[in-house]
Amino acid sequence: MVPPSRAIWVPPHVTHEVVAVEDAFLRTLYITESTVPAGLDAPRVVEVSNLLREVIAALDTPGLSPARERLLGALALDELTRSEPLPLSVPMPNEKRLRALCEAVIADPTPGESLEQWAASVGASTRTIARLFRQELGVSFSQWRQQAILARAIPLLSQGRPLSHVAQELGYQSQSAFSAMFRRAFGESPRAFIERGSEHRLENGESADDADQDEISLEQTLPTGADPIAPGADRR
C-alpha cells in the first residue's frame, strides 16, 4: 500500500504486482541490479524528497544523453538511500494459527478484541501467540495491529473521507485518539500527511482533479546488463 506521492522500493528477484484501486499515475524507475546500493535488500515504502521527485522527472525527459542519464541516475540512487522508510508494511507470518489470526485482524483491524480473544479464536494460548508474533514478525501484537490499522486508514484518507468517519470506522472513540496514534507513527497529523502529497502533485503541474488521485512511484530493479536507469510512466 503506497500513499499519494510516496514510493515503493522493490529489490532484485522479488515477485510482486501493482494493483491500483482507483485512477492513479504510476511512474516507474528501473535500476540495473549491479548498481543497487547496499542496505536496500528489502521492499519498503519511502518518502520521496523534492530532490528525488525532480530527478525522477528529469530522467523521464525525451532525448536524455547517456552522460546526463548516468549523473542523474547516480544522484537518484544516493537520494533513495537517504529516503526515510514509512511504517506501512504489514508483514504476514507462516505459522498457520498466527496467519489465520492475522488475516482475521486485517479483515477487521479495529482494536475491539484483546489478544486473549484473538488467541482463543484460533485455538492457541495468549503466551503462544505473543511468542509467535515476536518469533515470526519481530513485533508485538499491538504493534502489528497498529500497522494493519494504518494500512487501512491511508487509502480511506486519500479518498477524501472525513477524518472523524475514518477514526470511527477503525474503532477509535474519538478523532483526537486516532490522530494521536497516527502522529506517533508518522510524526505529523493525518491531514498534514495527505495534504503534503496533494501539494507535491499540484507543484508538478497536475490539476486539482489529478491531485485527488493516488500517485505511485515504484522503484524496481532489472537484471544486470539493462540500462542503468530506465524511467517509465503509465496511467492505471
- Better-scored residue on pLDDT, 121 or 197: 121
Q: Is residue 1 one of the residues assigned to a domain?
A: no
Q: How many helices and strands in the chain, by DSSP H and E?
A: 10, 5
Cα 215 from chain centre: 12
* Percentage of the chain lying above the pLDDT 70 cut: 77
- The whole-number pLDDT of residue 208 equals 40
As a whole number, mean pLDDT of residues 17-34 equals 78
Residue 188 within any structural domain of the chain: no
User: Within this chain, do residues 14 and 61 fall inside the same structural domain, yes or no?
Assistant: yes
Same domain for 210 and 152: no
* Torsion (CA) 73, 74, 75, 77 in degrees, nearest 10: 90
Helix (H) or strand (E) holding 215: strand 214-222
Predicted confidence (pLDDT) at residue 191 exceeds the cutoff of 90: no
| Together in a domain, 76 and 32 | yes
The crossing angle, in degrees rounded to 10, of helices 96-107 and 141-158 is 30
Q: What is the rounded distance in angstroms from the CA atom of residue 153 to the CA atom of residue 172?
A: 12
User: 3-state SS of the chain: helix, strand, coil percent to 5?
Assistant: 50, 15, 35
Whichever domain contains 148, its CATH number is 1.10.10.60
Please check whether residues 20 and 70 belong to one and the same domain: yes
Report field, pTM of the whole predicted structure over 0.85: no
Segments in the chain forming alpha helices (H): 50-59, 66-82, 96-107, 115-121, 126-132, 141-158, 163-169, 175-186, 190-203, 208-211
What is the chain's Cα-based Rg?
Answer: 20
Domain carrying residue 31: 6-87+195-235
From residue 144, give the alpha-carbon distance in Å to each of 87, 114, 164.
10, 13, 23
In sequence order, which residues have a C-beta less than 8 Å from that of residue 71 and are 6 or more positions away? none
Domain co-membership, 13 together with 75? yes
SS3 145: helix
Q: Do 131 and 200 belong to one domain? A: no
What pLDDT, on the 0 to 100 scale, is given for residue 203? 53
Which residue bears the cell 504493534? 143
Within-domain flag for 187: no
Same domain, 200 and 168: no
pLDDT confidence bin for 42, thresholds 50/70/90: confident
Contact 177/167 with Cβ under 8 angstroms? Answer: yes
Between CA 234 and CA 153 the distance in angstroms is 26
- pLDDT, one tens digit per residue, over 105-145 is 988 888 778 999 999 999 999 999 999 999 999 889 998 99
Domain membership flag for residue 31: yes
**Average pLDDT, rounded, for the chain:** 80
Residue 81: partners with Cβ closer than 8 Å, 6 or more residues away: 37, 39, 40
**Same-domain status, 165 and 229:** no
14 and 40 belong to one structural domain: yes
Nearest to 58 by CA among 69, 74, 46: 69
Q: Total structural domains in the chain?
A: 2
pLDDT band at 37 (very low <50, low <70, confident <90, very high): confident
Q: Is residue 79 part of a domain?
A: yes
Q: Same structural domain for residues 102 and 164? A: yes
Same-domain status, 82 and 105: no
